[in-house]
Amino acid sequence: MKIAWFTPLSKKSAIARASAGIVTELAKLADVNLIHFENGDVRDASVPVKRFASAAAVDERTLNHYDLAIYNFGNHLPFHREIFLVSRRHPGICILHDFVMHHFFAAYYFEDQRNPAAYSLLMERLYGEEGTAAAQRVLSGRGPRLWETDEVVRFPLFEEVIRGAAGVVAHSGFLKKHVEACFAGPVRRISLPYDADRSAPHLSRGDLGLEDHQVLIVTVGHVNPNKRIEAVIDALGRLGPATGRVVYAILGPCSPEYQEALNAAVRRNHLERVVRFLGQVPDDVLHAYLSHAGICINLRYPVTEGASASVIEEMLFGKPVIVTDTGFYSELMDGSVIKIHPERESELHIDLARLLEDQALRENVGAAARFYAESEFRADRYAREILDFAWEVRRASPLLGLADRVAVECNRMGMAASMKTVEAVAHEMSALFTGEALGRDTHRTRR
């Protein structure tokens, strides 16, 4: 099979990093070309790479050269705009890296297209009156920007990315369930592969300003409210004298507004000598902090991702990680992480104190984390599963094409999905494709 693998390739993209590992393994099983659109500093790849200036430059002759196109989607418009535009005219397998794609479409319609009305129509089409009302609050200025609030999880907009796709890959059962609720084509859950450079760090504990008796606690990634860092600071403030043994390092960019809120939390808890905001750091510095960390904290609530590369990396480093017991994080093997329910967030200090006081516990959880991550989040496994899924998608394509044509005609005649006539038609269609039917609710219209 000849596959066109569409992905960001920027060194700033975690999806690019995952893709580089996947295509290396996939190329052992199929003929793979990696296609990207970036100009700047990009990752090396072990397979043939084709760069296009824009989606418009990818003509049908190029696309028809492949048996299948596979598109990687995240919520950052600059990395995924052209990939999205190609997928609109040439359906393939969509890999969803994020559950919430609202940030992508907000940037696309407000900044790129300068067409707020199209954003409102999209919200209406996908979410009815509730979506329309939410969009109008944004357009009228009566409320905050929806994508900057926790309410965004009610309007994820990933549905628009997969509309008309030949198949969808999700990296968690959590996201797969959401996809299957609105998409009638093949869906496969495959664990996201990720690698980590676990060689000895160039920077020592002393280089990082750590004393021998101090336990380093680390949070990495973009510093957003859903990472609950303010709750972590409050939990540290409740540890009492134990805070004298702690350094809490937060590595990642942060908006000025949220930074001020976090600074206030630090002052409120008198933790000026404990908490360090380091901002965006070079890879060697990040590597050193992860290597020397005693505990990692990777809270998310609400969950907007389909999976988390950062938590996988922390587990590969053999660190005990505290996560929120929700979404993808709930699916991590019990004992390989410390899970805290969102409603128990105020008790975070109890788990922190337990880990700080018990070095053996930290080592045991970290060892379990490494073992689980090394066996579960593998590029070779991913390559085998996605190639198997690709063949499933190709077998299902005739039925999906027929389903789409029949759905259009049923809609034109005013038929509702609840009608017995529609159910009868679905059963007849399924009988035509015995052995290749999708095995679930073929009467649903693919949006």
In a domain, 206, yes or no: no
177 shares a domain with 45? yes
pLDDT of 377 = 98
What value does the mean pLDDT take over residues 21-33?
98
Label residue 160 by pLDDT band (50, 70, 90): very high
Q: Is residue 205 part of a domain?
A: no
236 and 358 in a single domain? The answer is yes
Work out the average pLDDT over 406-426. 75
Q: Does residue 194 fall inside a structural domain? A: no
Determine the pLDDT at residue 17: 94
236-277 confidence digits (pLDDT tens):
999 999 999 999 999 999 999 999 999 999 999 999 999 999
Residue 280 confidence (pLDDT) above 70: yes
- Give the global pTM: 0.90
Same domain, residue pair 58 and 10: yes
Confidence of residue 213 (pLDDT cuts 50, 70, 90): very high
Helix H or strand E encompassing 215: strand 215-220
Please check whether residues 367 and 388 belong to one and the same domain. Answer: no
Looking at the fold, whether 159 and 221 belong to one and the same domain comes out as: no
Q: Answer yes or no: do 165 and 288 share one domain.
A: no
198 within a domain of the structure (yes/no): no
Higher-pLDDT residue of 89 and 425 is 89
Whether residues 76 and 109 fall in one domain: yes
Q: Indicate which CATH number applies to the domain containing 180.
A: 3.40.50
Same domain? 47 vs 166: yes
The percentage of the chain sitting over the pLDDT mark of 70, rounded to a whole number, equals: 93
Average pLDDT, the chain: 93
Q: Are residues 225 and 343 in the same domain?
A: yes
- Nearest CA among 225, 198, 219 for reference residue 295: 219
Q: How far apart are CA 6 and CA 37, in angstroms?
A: 9
**Alpha carbons 299 and 280: distance in angstroms, whole number:** 19
* 274: Cβ contacts below 8 Å, ≥ 6 apart: 236, 243, 246, 247, 248
Domain count along the chain? 3
The domain of 55 spans 2-189
Which of these ranges, 149-163, 261-275, 386-400, has the smallest mean pLDDT?
Answer: 386-400
* Residue 438 confidence class, pLDDT cut points 50, 70, 90: very low
Whole-number pLDDT of residue 430: 62
What pairing do the DSSP bridges indicate for beta strands 215-220 and 246-251? parallel
Residue with tokens 């389903």: 403
- 87 has a pLDDT exceeding 90: yes
Q: What band does 404 get if pLDDT is binned at 50, 70 and 90?
A: low
For 36-46, what is the mean pLDDT?
94
128 & 231 share domain: no
Does 222 lie in the same domain as 178?
A: no
Q: What is the pLDDT of residue 442?
A: 41
* 315 and 427 both lie in a single domain: no
Q: Look at residues 360, 376, 392 and tell me which one is the last residue of a structural domain.
A: 376
- Using the 3D structure, point to which of 136, 154, 189 is the last residue of a domain: 189
